A = this chain, B = another copy of it.
Amino acid sequence: MATIKDVARAAGVSTATVSAVINDSAYVSAELRARVLSAVRDLNYSPSLAAQNLKRGRSQLIALVVADLANPFFSRVVWAAEAAVAAWGYSLLIFNSDEKPEVERRILARVRTLSCDGVILVPVGDSTEHLRNDPDGKPIPTVLFGRSVADYRSDTVTIDNISAGRQATEYLLDLGHTRLGTITGPLHVTTGRGRLDGMMAAMQSRGLTLESRYIRSGEFREDAAYSVARSLLEQPDRPTALYVASGLMALGVMRAVADLGLRCPGDISIASTDTIPGIGGLRPRLTRTEHPLVDMTNEAVRLLVDQIRRGGPAEPRNVVFQPSLVVGDSCAPVVAQLGPPPLSSSGSCQ
């Protein structure tokens, strides 16, 4: 690899001049400029980022730390973030904390070592201590994404989870359902907790309560949702409608419904929150409250770049996006359901 010295020698100038030409940081006469540029081309010179980073104290790297890279929801975030970050001139590092706080801690140490310019973090767990990433020096610019952490002051980009749960629930209630069930995410994260709270609030305001035997909690995973959905739906007086907290879980629930021989929406109505790629191919089309995922990601990157530019976090900003109800055909009015029907024979096999 050619260095700035090689270029300087080839062009017959000093390294300072080469640097000035490359960065447009000082006036250089047309003649020297031309000589430098042609030497750059001849030698196929490209400045070493390592050297620039060392001197400038930045790295043009942004880290994205997600809670579960196997979840297609976060895959979409990766996709959107790559584009957003590239548009601002940064490159994107990907880390997977796999919902494990101690892995998250290790990743954040690594991010610091790599001297990333900023981090977009989907925080795991409810601890807040280890997020204060630099005890002494200035902290790395950080934007929390999707989930928030109590009493941690930093920019956040989230959706209104309560509204997501409420909207979906109200849609089911409007169809006449009263015996509702839900499959929630982990209740110690805001995305899990908030959606359940929204659902309960919606029911309460109509004088209904969500029975605890119709609540199942689990991880945001397809297989977990599948098994809890089975156990929920195998109850003799199962609910007539289900609110499922995430798109990936909804896939598992649909699979459970099919395997139990139930028909959706004939036997059971299903609504969910968030969307994942490929879910559009599913029949019936899922009724769901969707996140404006691309907008959220762009906003997170924008906030982060802003922090980086101003050299430190300003007053923390909290941007909350509203989910919107997308009506599919996975829900039917309760009158169309024939009371609490038994499980069909084909599905009763264990």
Residue A298 at the chain B interface, CB threshold 8 Å: no
Does residue A283 face the partner (Cβ distance < 8 Å to B)? yes
Contact A115 B72 (CB under 8 A): no
Which residues of chain B come closer than 8 Å to A50, judged between CB atoms?
Answer: 50, 53-54, 59, 115
Contact residues of A between 45 and 84, Cβ < 8 Å to B: 46-51, 53-54, 59-61, 69-70, 72, 75-76, 78-79, 82-83
Cα A86 to Cα B96 in complex, Å, equals: 10
For the complex with contacts A70-B277, A222-B278, A252-B281, 10 further pairs of A-B residues with Cβ separation under 8 Å are: A1-B134, A2-B136, A43-B136, A47-B113, A60-B114, A61-B93, A69-B78, A79-B96, A91-B95, A222-B277
Partner of A282, one of B49, B252, B281: B281
A110: which of B54, B79, B91, B281 is its contact (CB, 8 Å)? B91
Instruction: State the Cβ distance, A242 to closest chain B Cβ, in Å.
Output: 15
Give A251 Cβ to nearest chain B Cβ, in Å.
4
How far, in whole Å, are A248 and B279 apart by their CA atoms in the complex? 11
Report yes or no: A281 in contact with B93, Cβ–Cβ below 8 A.
Answer: no
Most buried by B among A50, A70, A92, A96: A50
1/0 per residue A83-103: CB within 8 Å of B? 100100001111110000000
User: Complex Cα distance A136/B44, Å?
Assistant: 8
Taking a contact as CB atoms under 8 Å apart, the answer to whether A114 and B91 are in contact is yes
Q: Known contacts A1-B134, A92-B93: does B114 contact A49 (CB below 8 Å)?
A: yes
Contact B115 A96 (CB under 8 A): no
User: Are the CB atoms of A278 and B72 closer together than 8 Å?
Assistant: yes
A251 touches B281 (CB 8 A): yes
Q: Does A280 contact B (CB under 8 A)?
A: yes
Question: What residues on B are CB-neighbors of A92 within 8 Å?
Answer: 93-95
* A134 to B1 CA separation, bound complex (whole angstroms): 8
Q: Which of B76, B93, B113, B254 contacts A46 (CB 8 A)?
A: B113
Q: With A and B bound together, what is the CA distance between A254 and B285 in angstroms?
A: 13
The answer to whether A20 has its CB under 8 Å from any CB of chain B is no
Cβ contacts under 8 Å, A113 to chain B: 46-49
Q: How far is the CA of A51 from the CA of B82 in the complex (A)?
A: 26
Closest chain-B Cβ to A262's Cβ sits at a distance in Å of 12
How many Å from the CB of A203 to the closest CB on chain B? 27
Which residues of B lie under 8 Å from residue A283 when comparing CB positions? Answer: 254-255, 258
**1/0 contact trace for A1-31 toward B, CB 8 Å?**
1100000000000000000000000000000
Q: A346 → chain B, closest Cβ, in Å?
A: 13
- The residues of B that contact A187 with a CB separation of less than 8 Å are none
A280 touches B222 (CB 8 A): yes
Bound state CA distance, A2 and B60, in angstroms?
Answer: 21
For residue A137, CB closer than 8 A to chain B, the reply is yes
Cα A100 to Cα B344 in complex, Å, equals 51
Decide: A82 near B95, CB < 8 A? Known: A44-B136, A49-B113, A135-B44. yes
In residues 255-299 of chain A, which contact B (Cβ within 8 Å)?
A: 255, 258, 276-283
A230 an interface residue at 8 Å Cβ cutoff? no
